[in-house]
């Protein structure tokens, strides 16, 4: 079937999402902010109680009319959506399905929003779907496409995710391509596809989709990993081990730190295939795992490796990218001369970055403290900051304790920080809270990107604020990401935080790790 429809995202689709329990009732009432709270509808009379039982056509009809009569602000165009939401509110999914079927069988007018919401009911009951349910999803989708030339993005998402639960899941790849024309598909869509692909034994599609998610800086959802785990179990122990390690390599490649719950599921399954695993605390100072006795990998650079990286950063990040355009070439030349005449520095500080980190304190307060911190430890410090800062009266404190280079107010700061630090050799460090992502990506080559990240892990001080005050986070001695030493895998993890919507690159050393130790003897 050729899919030929456009997608648009009307404002109204927002209100069709589950878990949004208020309805703005019409354009006219919008200005008066007349809204209906789902909770009020559920608690204010006995209708909701009636809706919990198995209802006949006559009873559904009566309930629908009663709600319309009692709530003049509820119009026929939204009442069905509201009733479905009322059913689902306390997990009466089957009643919501029954209500939709009542509407369809009695020829009520069904808009795309209600149909999409109906498909979403099957997503809610995905762990108990019958073959008949799967057929119902496919047929409902097909009917919807016959009826509507246009689908809003919310309905399209509901179609994709529900179809991914059926044998027609591969069809969703085309729908996703269509969605991409007008909007950027979210992680839920890609995760449903990747999960379906693993479940249906099509790893190539799954890995490609998983890679898409990560490259889009989205967080792969839990269902992908659970399906991957099911896929790992399809054959023998060797197959399981290879697939498990394949996932670990993927996490290394994309610097993914999995959620505790996910890695625990892998650990619990791996035990059946000859692994012993344990949740351990690994200190960032010692790098020692008490489960297997191994150490995490120390971050090291050979002289050649460092020089090659420094040259590439100079060529690709500073000269060969648009950053160079944002930097005055004469100024860069002047800066290079300055570095040649004053180096080597032990620490290079991004002054502007620190000035704006703690807005509650006086402007240069943090920068002055950080400079003093390193000065007291006998370090030769360079502060890079903007010309306008010289006007601040406290600036002389900084000039007393550090070398200072003032760059034009419009120049990009990061290239200067990277250049100055790398020009001072392998042991120079820098202080900045910038994650330097953009610069890592402009290296293009994957191997170089990994080396840059390794260098960053081991050369960047971060300033962290907490309830107890400010602290300086030292560069790492040991690699803080998934890694293998001998026959042991060490996987750091994070506690799940649903508020994080994008894949944050991880610049904390997790104290929670899982150790996977493979013990071949256990297998035979």
Binding range to Zn ion, per CB under 5 A, among 295-303, 317-325, 492-500, 515-523:
515-523
Nearer to Zn ion, 292 or 418 (CB): 292
Closest approach, Cβ 241 to Zn ion, in A, equals: 17
Residues 6+ apart with CB under 8 A from 233: 240, 269
Binding range to Zn ion, per CB under 5 A, among 109-117, 281-289, 345-353, 377-385:
281-289
454 in contact with Zn ion (CB under 5 A): no
Binding range to Zn ion, per CB under 5 A, among 174-182, 329-337, 423-431, 513-521:
513-521
Task: Give exposure, 31-65, as e/b (b: 16+ Cβ within 10 Å).
Answer: eeeeebebeebbeeeebbeebeeebeeeebeebbe
Other CB atoms within 10 Å distance of the CB of residue 172 = 24
291 in contact with Zn ion (CB under 5 A): yes
Nearer to Zn ion, 429 or 488 (CB): 488
Closest approach, Cβ 514 to Zn ion, in A, equals: 9
- DSSP letters, 118-174, are HHHHHHHTGGG--HHHHHHHHHHHHHHHHH-SEEEHHHHHHHHHHHTTSTTGGGHHH
Nearer to Zn ion, 96 or 515 (CB): 515
Nearer to Zn ion, 267 or 347 (CB): 267
Closest approach, Cβ 271 to Zn ion, in A, equals: 15
Closest approach, Cβ 489 to Zn ion, in A, equals: 8
Choice from 289, 296, 398, 493 touching Zn ion (CB under 5 A): 289
Nearer to Zn ion, 289 or 299 (CB): 289
C-alpha dihedral sign at 335, 336, 338, 339: positive
For residues 282 and 290, give the distance between their C-alpha atoms in angstroms, rounded to a whole number.
8
User: How many binding residues for Zn ion (CB under 5 A)?
Assistant: 5
CA 34 to chain CA mean position, Å: 36
Binding range to Zn ion, per CB under 5 A, among 72-80, 237-245, 360-368, 486-494:
486-494
488 in contact with Zn ion (CB under 5 A): yes
User: Is residue 269 a contact partner of residue 230, using CB atoms and an 8 Å limit?
Assistant: no
**381 beta partners:** 347
Closest approach, Cβ 245 to Zn ion, in A, equals: 15
For residues 297 and 484, give the distance between their C-alpha atoms in angstroms, rounded to a whole number.
8
Closest approach, Cβ 253 to Zn ion, in A, equals: 21
For residues 313 and 212, give the distance between their C-alpha atoms in angstroms, rounded to a whole number.
26
User: What does the chain come to in residues?
Assistant: 524
Nearer to Zn ion, 200 or 276 (CB): 276
What would the two tokens of residue 420 be?
């100055």
Binding range to Zn ion, per CB under 5 A, among 47-55, 163-171, 216-224, 488-496:
488-496
Closest approach, Cβ 142 to Zn ion, in A, equals: 52
What would the two tokens of residue 342 be?
């004053």
Residues 6+ apart with CB under 8 A from 88: 18, 96, 121, 124
Half-sphere exposure of 64 (CA within 13 A, CB side): 22
Q: What is the DSSP letter of 72?
A: T
User: Is residue 87 a contact partner of residue 93, using CB atoms and an 8 Å limit?
Assistant: yes
Closest approach, Cβ 524 to Zn ion, in A, equals: 23
282 in contact with Zn ion (CB under 5 A): no
Nearer to Zn ion, 104 or 279 (CB): 279
CA proximity to 315, closest of 429, 443, 438:
443
Nearer to Zn ion, 48 or 516 (CB): 516
Nearer to Zn ion, 88 or 292 (CB): 292
Nearer to Zn ion, 292 or 349 (CB): 292
**349 beta partners:** 383, 431
292 in contact with Zn ion (CB under 5 A): yes
Q: What is the DSSP letter of 183?
A: S
In 3-state terms the chain splits into helix, strand, coil percentages (rounded to 5) of 55, 15, 30
For residues 254 and 249, give the distance between their C-alpha atoms in angstroms, rounded to a whole number.
9
Choice from 123, 332, 354, 515 touching Zn ion (CB under 5 A): 515
For residues 38 and 15, give the distance between their C-alpha atoms in angstroms, rounded to a whole number.
12
Nearer to Zn ion, 113 or 287 (CB): 287
Closest approach, Cβ 490 to Zn ion, in A, equals: 6
Binding range to Zn ion, per CB under 5 A, among 116-124, 127-135, 284-292, 379-387:
284-292
Nearer to Zn ion, 160 or 488 (CB): 488
Closest approach, Cβ 492 to Zn ion, in A, equals: 12
Binding range to Zn ion, per CB under 5 A, among 7-15, 63-71, 136-144, 287-295:
287-295
CA proximity to 275, closest of 237, 307, 247:
237
Binding range to Zn ion, per CB under 5 A, among 8-16, 102-110, 312-320, 514-522:
514-522
Closest approach, Cβ 483 to Zn ion, in A, equals: 10
**Which DSSP helix (H) or strand (E) runs through 486?**
none
Closest approach, Cβ 289 to Zn ion, in A, equals: 3
Q: What is the DSSP letter of 371?
A: H
CA proximity to 488, closest of 517, 520, 512, 514:
517
349 in contact with Zn ion (CB under 5 A): no
112 in contact with Zn ion (CB under 5 A): no
Closest approach, Cβ 518 to Zn ion, in A, equals: 11
Binding range to Zn ion, per CB under 5 A, among 5-13, 375-383, 472-480, 508-516:
508-516
Q: DSSP strand E in 300-359: where?
A: 347-350
Nearer to Zn ion, 201 or 293 (CB): 293
What would the two tokens of residue 282 be?
């690994």
Can you give the binding site for Zn ion, defined by CB under 5 A?
289, 291-292, 488, 515
């Amino acid at each position: 079937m050729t899919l030929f429809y456009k997608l648009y995202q009307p404002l109204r689709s927002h209100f069709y999402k589950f878990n949004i329990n208020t309805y703005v009732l019409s354009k006219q009432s919008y200005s008066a902010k007349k809204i209906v709270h789902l909770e009020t509808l559920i608690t204010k009379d006995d209708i909701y109680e009636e809706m919990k039982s198995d209802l006949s056509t006559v009873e559904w009809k009566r309930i629908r009319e009663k709600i319309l009569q009692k709530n003049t602000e509820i119009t026929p165009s939204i009442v069905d959506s509201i009733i479905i939401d009322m059913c689902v509110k306390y997990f009466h999914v089957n009643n919501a399905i029954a209500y939709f079927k009542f509407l369809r069988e009695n020829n009520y007018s069904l808009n795309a929003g209600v149909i999409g919401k109906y498909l979403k009911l099957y997503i809610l009951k995905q762990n108990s779907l019958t073959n008949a349910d799967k057929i119902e999803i496919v047929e409902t989708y097909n009917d919807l496409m016959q009826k509507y030339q246009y689908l809003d993005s919310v309905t399209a998402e509901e179609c994709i995710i529900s179809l991914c639960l059926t044998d027609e899941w591969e069809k969703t790849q085309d729908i996703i391509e269509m969605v991409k024309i007008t909007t950027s598909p979210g992680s839920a869509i890609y995760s449903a596809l990747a999960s379906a692909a693993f479940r249906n034994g099509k790893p190539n599609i799954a890995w490609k989709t998983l890679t898409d998610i990560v490259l889009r800086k989205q967080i792969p959802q839990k269902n992908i990993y659970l399906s991957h785990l099911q896929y790992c179990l399809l054959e023998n122990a060797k197959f399981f081990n290879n697939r498990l390690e394949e996932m670990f390599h993927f996490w290394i490649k994309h610097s993914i730190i999995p959620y505790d719950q996910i890695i625990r599921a892998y650990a619990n399954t791996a035990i059946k295939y000859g692994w012993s695993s344990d949740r351990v605390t690994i200190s960032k100072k010692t790098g020692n795992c008490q489960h297997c006795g191994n150490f995490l990998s120390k971050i090291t650079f050979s002289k050649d490796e460092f020089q090659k990286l420094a040259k590439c950063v100079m060529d690709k990040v500073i000269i060969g990218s648009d950053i160079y355009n944002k930097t005055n070439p004469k100024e860069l030349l002047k800066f290079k001369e300055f570095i040649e005449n004053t180096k080597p520095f032990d620490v290079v500080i991004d002054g502007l970055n620190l000035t704006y980190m703690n807005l509650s304190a006086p402007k240069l307060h943090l920068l002055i403290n950080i400079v003093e911190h390193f000065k007291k430890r006998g370090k030769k410090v360079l502060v890079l900051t903007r010309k306008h800062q010289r006007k601040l009266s406290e600036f002389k404190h900084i000039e007393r304790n550090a070398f200072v280079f003032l760059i034009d107010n419009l120049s990009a700061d990061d290239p200067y920080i990277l250049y100055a630090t790398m020009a001072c050799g392998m042991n120079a460090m820098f202080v900045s809270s910038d994650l330097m992502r953009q610069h890592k990506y402009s290296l293009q080559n994957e191997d170089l990107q990994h080396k840059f990240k390794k260098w960053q892990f081991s050369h960047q001080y971060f300033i962290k604020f907490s309830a107890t005050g400010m602290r300086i986070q030292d560069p790492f001695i040991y690699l803080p990401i998934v890694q293998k030493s001998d026959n042991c895998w060490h996987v750091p993890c994070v506690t799940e935080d649903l508020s994080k919507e994008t894949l944050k690159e991880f610049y904390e050393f997790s104290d929670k790790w899982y150790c996977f130790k493979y013990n071949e003897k256990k297998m035979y």
